[in-house]
Structure 1
Amino acid sequence: MNKQKFSLKKRIHSFRYAIEGLVAFFKEEHNARIHLVASCIVLSTGFFLKISQMEWIAILFAISIVFITELINTSIERVADYISPEFHPKIKLIKDLAAGAVLVAALFAILVGSLVFIPHFW
């Protein structure tokens, strides 16, 4: 158990590391930029169509899930590449499973977006 005394300064400083991670994520990961562009389009469409508060919650939840899974997927891939830079079938499976989680999240986001936006276009 960690018995260090709570330090607000250290907690605030830890945000810097998280922000550095997000900057690296968007700078180095092509899929992150694709998700960012898609998110901007979805958010702009939501503003244009004046979607309801509940629809905003669904959209923001879906976008968040995609980014969270992509961040976790990227982390898993980086660790796997560090542990085993050469091809290994078990590492491939681990990376495929993590990528599958992103795919499920993206399909969920498409479904949510369809349920929210299609009725506005009818």
Structure 2
Amino acid sequence: MSSFILGRIKSIVYALKGFFWLIRNENSIITQVIFAFGFTILGFYFQIDRFEWALQVLAIGLVLAIESLNTAVEKVCDFIHPDFHSKIGLIKDIASGAVTFAVFTAFIIACLIYIPYIFI
């Protein structure tokens, strides 16, 4: 096998290692996965259409991806400066704010999808 293919395989293995670490160890990711599972069940219950599924999957992926990046930022900050520092705290708050943007976006998408099914 060429070194290019081996490099891609190694990249996939590292990505999966990070994926499973997040799902096993990071409470915020576990919580978001539980919400994702709940909304997936709702999608099947209400028989949402293909476009609504696409929006829902995109919203779920957005929240999980941003939450994962937030975790990475927090881990880097803790590694660089394990003690409390106001600038490190601000950096962590900003990263957490990015998650909040993603969650608000996902919430709006969920409302757009499910309110018509619930109230009509």
Task: Classify the TM-score, shorter chain.
Answer: over 0.9
1:46 to 43, 66, 72: 43
> How high is the TM-score relative to the length of structure 1?
0.92
Counterpart residue number, 2:69: 72
- Matched letter for residue 12 of structure 2: F
Query: What CA distance in whole angstroms lies between the structure 2 residues aligned with 1:14 and 1:105?
Result: 26
Counterpart residue number, 1:92: 89
Q: 1:68-112 CA deviation, whole Å, 9 max, x = no partner?
A: 100110000000000000011110000000001111111111111
1:114 aligned onto 2:100 = no
**Gapped runs of 5+ residues in structure 2?**
none
- Matched letter for residue 47 of structure 1: F
Counterpart secondary structure, 1:86 = coil
1:62 aligned onto 2:55 = no
State the 1:21 CA deviation. 0.3
1:104 to 86, 92, 101: 101
Aligned length: 118
Query: What CA distance in whole angstroms lies between the structure 2 residues aligned with 1:71 and 1:100?
Result: 13
Counterpart secondary structure, 1:111 = helix
Identity %: 34
Moved over 4 A (4+): none
Counterpart secondary structure, 1:7 = helix
Counterpart secondary structure, 1:121 = helix
Quote the RMSD (CA, aligned, Å): 1.1
> How high is the TM-score relative to the length of structure 2?
0.94
- Matched letter for residue 116 of structure 2: P
Query: What CA distance in whole angstroms lies between the structure 1 residues aligned with 2:35 and 2:25?
Result: 17
